[in-house]
Amino acid sequence: MAWLTLSVQAEASHAEALSESLLAHGALSVDMLDADADTPDEQAIFGEPGEPTASVWQHNLINALFEPDADVESILRTCYAELGITRPAPHRIETLEENDWVRLTQSQFDPIRISDRLWIVPTWHEASDPAAINIALDPGLAFGTGSHPTTRLCLRWLDGNIKGGESVIDYGCGSGILAIAAMKLGAGSALGVDIDPQAVIASRDNAQANQAQADFYVPDNAPAGGQYDVVVANILTNPLRALAPLLAAYARTGGRIVLSGILADQADEVMRIYGQWFDFAPPVIEDGWCCLSGVKR
């Protein structure tokens, strides 16, 4: 069986209303994405502690799924009319063929070689190098499978710099991959923090699956105070700006900070902000993304 998919752009003022209207007129499912994702205009809508939150992005891409006999063009016109939208946005309607979606999804995720001794291995694969440090991790609700350049950059930094016994905090831990990797590489302790409770649950499950003794919390429940040998934050530039004093306070004097989720042309700005506390090495760049590392004065 095939389905029809609709992709339509929507501004923040009516994105949620349009999504609800599409569902009311027969859409089987609707999701919203940031239309500016992976560009300098990418917007984080999940607030950090003390920061206001937004419910939708400024520029949204709505994706809706319909039965194969649905008149999607007519439905979209009806939704626009009900919402009083007189200037329809660009949209695309395509046919989505039947597939074995589980097998298709799994086929997109092979083991990822981070270094000679560190691999990320989905649970349905055999380890390519059984003698290596193999972290079992499947794609899920939380960011961080090793497939994105920012995650790989942070993992390579950990692989090259964890010598044994360090205390590590990963702020914005996502799947928990960085804290788990730190423990597998020899860190003495690792703490992960994320504002998304689902990410914290996923991180705990992933740590248990990998027999890694890392702890994970939402910010309000995380241990107060404390300083660490290594502070890692693989998020985005906007929250990194806001979190600079907090992340700097987590690092002990002589400790290291690792920042990623930063586009290459944003690196200088982030280093200027964090330069109040840290001396930085040159940025490491991959596919337009960079990783910054510094030592606290």
Looking at residue 288, what is its pLDDT?
Answer: 92
Provide the mean pLDDT of the chain.
Answer: 88
Looking at residue 104, what is its pLDDT?
Answer: 46
Measured CA to CA, the distance from residue 121 to residue 237 in angstroms comes to 29
Does the domain at 3-98 match CATH 3.40.718.10? Answer given as: no
pLDDT exceeds 80 at position 107:
no
Looking at residue 86, what is its pLDDT?
Answer: 85
Q: Give the model's confidence band at 249: pLDDT under 50 very low, under 70 low, under 90 confident, else very high.
A: very high
Instruction: Determine the average pLDDT of the residues in 244-254.
Output: 97
Delimit the domains of the chain by residue range.
3-98, 156-296
Contact 296, 248 (CB under 8 A): yes
Q: Lowest mean pLDDT: which of 12-16, 40-44, 148-152, 262-266?
A: 40-44
Question: What are 217's strand-pairing partners?
Answer: 193
Contact 232, 168 (CB under 8 A): yes
Q: Is the pTM of this model over 0.85?
A: no
Give the pLDDT confidence of 136-148 residue by residue, as tens digits. 887 655 566 677 8
pLDDT exceeds 70 at position 41:
no
Q: Which residue blocks in the chain are alpha helix, DSSP H?
A: 15-24, 72-83, 101-107, 149-161, 177-184, 197-209, 237-250, 267-274
Instruction: Determine the average pLDDT of the residues in 175-198.
Output: 96
Residue 266 tokens read as 């944003």
The fold of 156-296 is Rossmann fold (3.40.50)
pLDDT exceeds 80 at position 1:
no
How far, CA to CA in Å, does 45 sit from each of 20, 55, 84, 160, 242?
A: 20, 7, 26, 33, 13
Instruction: Determine the average pLDDT of the residues in 217-238.
Output: 94
